[in-house]
Amino acid sequence: MIFAEHVEKDPKTDEPTGILTGFGSTGLSPDAEAELRKHLPSHTPEAIARNVQNNLAAAVRAGITTVVDPQSYLEDLDMYARLRREGKLPTRLQVALFHRRGTAQETLQQFEQARQKYNDDWLRVSAVKLYIDDVIEPHTAALLEPYADRPGTRGELDYPPDEFKEVVARLDRMKFQVFIHSIGDRGIRTALDAIEYAEEQNGPRERRDELVHIECLNEKDIPRFKQLAVVACMQPRHCAPDITGQWAKAVGPARWKYAWAFRSLRDAGAMLAFSSDWNVAEMEPLIGIYTALTRKGLDGKPEGGWVPAQTIDLDTAIRAYTINGAFANFVEQNRGSITPGKYADLVMLSDDLFKIPAEKMKDTNIVDDGGRKNRVEQKVGRYSSFSVVYPPTTRSGVRLLA
């Protein structure tokens, strides 16, 4: 728990009831997780394994061949390995380990051991996940200027900026790729500053660090993504007007211009990699592609889309879900495009996306070469097809995959 605006208390005893409102959290402590596993059936290893299997099966039905678990724990890794041994991993799996504030060097050494142990194309520990802020709707993302509907509030950073710089630099010295949850413009700037500091301290290398979400961006920070070679990992469905009403009200019209600034980032040379943030939004890449092209809700509204200046073309959106996602996760050498020598992680669609209107893309089906719905062919051969790579995304407290 980072903070809470209100702790509800029993009116008779003045004792906390356990209900909090207006709070920000980036995950439970290890001790709290252990207590949940003791007492909640949903947190037993068996229940978690079932959830993982269900989520991976849903990913296959959505046409996804590589999944990134963006916020995992060391204790989850044996479960993933067991599922793999039992032939129950239907997709390739990339795992980012969650770094809580105050994580000790001893734990980071365990991260390093896990990275060495789990390192192949079916199961790989690939990165470390950090948070610098929270989300817009409850006013817990960090903004440069106050919220439009709450003028006394700018949100909070999860770390003081100088502390965060040292955390990122320490992980960078260990050659870890970092995924940083960054939503508000102040959070985004602080994350970019930390990555820049890490490069200054540790020297140049191919980092491919990722900022995740990038919802409310300041114009001055747009060119820094290319300058620092930072991947912009974004979730198109989040900007759909049928789910952004409170977001738009909280941020205010003056900042809408660079809300989910897909086009501005692309035009400035940034690498876009798209994902879902399941289960905050739908898992299907086709829904994300539709949203990126139209900036409309699933109901087709509003006419012309919300902030249409930030729409992108189909080629850019497909690349963001395929080869760019592979690049963002250091696996472009064997997936992400139809190229001789890559894995044939095949996904076939019912329609040619380049021949149908954008409004119909969300209704396109995943099929195999026999025309049956919701089946993904996964074969390894000399001639590879494309794989939809879901880069990492999650919000506080969400541990479900994809």
Of 21-25, 43-47, 134-138, 139-143, which range is least confident?
21-25
Residue 81's alpha-carbon distances to 36, 125, 235, in angstroms, are: 22, 11, 28
Of 87-101, 349-363, 378-392, which range is least confident?
378-392
Q: Which tokens sit at 202?
A: 């540790």
Give the pLDDT confidence of 194-223 residue by residue, as tens digits.
Answer: 999 999 999 999 999 999 999 999 999 999
Between 59 and 29, the more confident residue is: 59
Please state the rounded mean pLDDT for residues 14-28.
70
Q: What integer pLDDT is reported at residue 42 of this predicted model?
A: 78
Q: What integer pLDDT is reported at residue 64 of this predicted model?
A: 93
Please state the rounded mean pLDDT for residues 165-170.
98
Q: What integer pLDDT is reported at residue 78 of this predicted model?
A: 94
Chain centroid, CA 68 distance in Å: 8
What does DSSP assign to residue 259? B
Q: Which tokens sit at 319?
A: 């690349």
Half-sphere exposure (Cβ direction) of 324: Cα atoms closer than 13 Å: 22
Of residues 364, 326, 362, 331, the one with CA closest to residue 348: 364
Give the pLDDT confidence of 60-71 residue by residue, as tens digits.
Answer: 999 999 999 999
Of residues 242, 280, 314, 278, the one with CA closest to residue 402: 278
Q: What integer pLDDT is reported at residue 27 of this predicted model?
A: 63
pLDDT of residue 97 exceeding 70? yes
Between 391 and 358, the more confident residue is: 358
Between 343 and 279, the more confident residue is: 343
Between 186 and 22, the more confident residue is: 186
pLDDT of residue 24 exceeding 90? no
Please state the rounded mean pLDDT for residues 243-266.
97
Under the banding of pLDDT at 50, 70 and 90, the label for residue 36 is: confident
Of residues 190, 187, 180, 245, the one with CA closest to residue 216: 187
pLDDT, the chain, mean = 88
The residue assigned the tokens 């506080």 is 396
| pTM of the model as a whole | 0.88
Secondary structure element (H or E) that encloses residue 131, with its range: strand 123-131
pLDDT of residue 384 exceeding 80? no
Under the banding of pLDDT at 50, 70 and 90, the label for residue 402 is: very low
Q: What integer pLDDT is reported at residue 293 of this predicted model?
A: 98
Q: What integer pLDDT is reported at residue 376 of this predicted model?
A: 38
In our burial notation (b when 16+ CB lie closer than 10 A, e otherwise), range 62-95 reads: bbbbbbbbbbbbeebbeebeebeeeeebbbbbbb
3-state secondary structure of 146: coil
Q: What integer pLDDT is reported at residue 41 of this predicted model?
A: 78
Q: What integer pLDDT is reported at residue 48 of this predicted model?
A: 87
Give the pLDDT confidence of 292-341 residue by residue, as tens digits.
Answer: 999 999 999 999 999 999 999 999 999 999 999 999 999 999 999 989 99
Between 267 and 400, the more confident residue is: 267
Q: What integer pLDDT is reported at residue 373 of this predicted model?
A: 41
Under the banding of pLDDT at 50, 70 and 90, the label for residue 72 is: very high
Q: Which tokens sit at 400?
A: 């479900």
pLDDT of residue 135 exceeding 70? yes
Instruction: Say how far apart CA 157 and CA 224 lie, in whole Å.
Output: 20
